[in-house]
Structure 1
Amino acid sequence: MKLEILTPDKKVFEGEVRSVTVPGTMGSFEVLKDHAPIVSTLEDGKVIIRTGSTEETILIKGGVIEVINNNIMVLAEGAQTT
């Protein structure tokens, strides 16, 4: 799957991922390969990115996520890597 995390200032992450967990408004959820198409709002919190055997965490400040055909786009109001 391809993941992009964008803020108004910059591209925070772009690459192939195995899965990603995001802080949805109704609770966090995980996106895996072949996830159903979805658009959801996001709260402030952790985006956990899993690529192969590594895991990376990015803190976001609200936003939205769109998942279509194994392409994941996170548009965040702000972000910082930990």
Structure 2
Amino acid sequence: MQLEILTPEHKVFSGNVYGVQLPGVQGSFEILQNHAPMVAALGKGSMKILKDKASTEVYNITGGFVETLNNKTTVLLEGAESVSY
């Protein structure tokens, strides 16, 4: 699945991924390959990019929107900060 994550200041991520976990306004959800088309509002919380089944990147986000259509997911965020463990 193609994933693109943007803030007003810069592109946070762009590439092929296994999936993405996002904090929706009514609870967390996950988008994987062949997900049904949708648009959803995002709340404040943790976003996890699943690069493959063993590799992830985590960001704290401050809200925004996500759109998925034809195996392309675009995430538009107010802000994102990388989390390192």
| Same-fold call, TM cutoff 0.5 | yes
Length, aligned pairs only: 82
1:40-73: CA deviations, max 9, x gaps?
Answer: 0000111111112201101111000000011000
Normalised TM-score (structure 2): 0.93
Q: CA RMSD in A?
A: 0.7
What SS does the corresponding residue of 1:43 show, helix, strand or coil?
strand
User: Which residue of 2 is the match for residue 36 of structure 1?
Assistant: 36
Tell me the distance in 2 between the aligned counterparts of 1:15 and 1:60.
Answer: 19
Tell me the distance in 2 between the aligned counterparts of 1:69 and 1:54.
Answer: 24
Structure 1 runs (4+) deviating above 2 angstroms are none
Q: How does 1:1-82 map to 2 (within 5 A)?
A: 1-52=1-52, 53-82=54-83
Identity across the alignment (%): 48
Tell me the distance in 2 between the aligned counterparts of 1:13 and 1:46.
Answer: 15
Normalised TM-score (structure 1): 0.96
Q: Which runs of 5+ in 1 are unaligned?
A: none
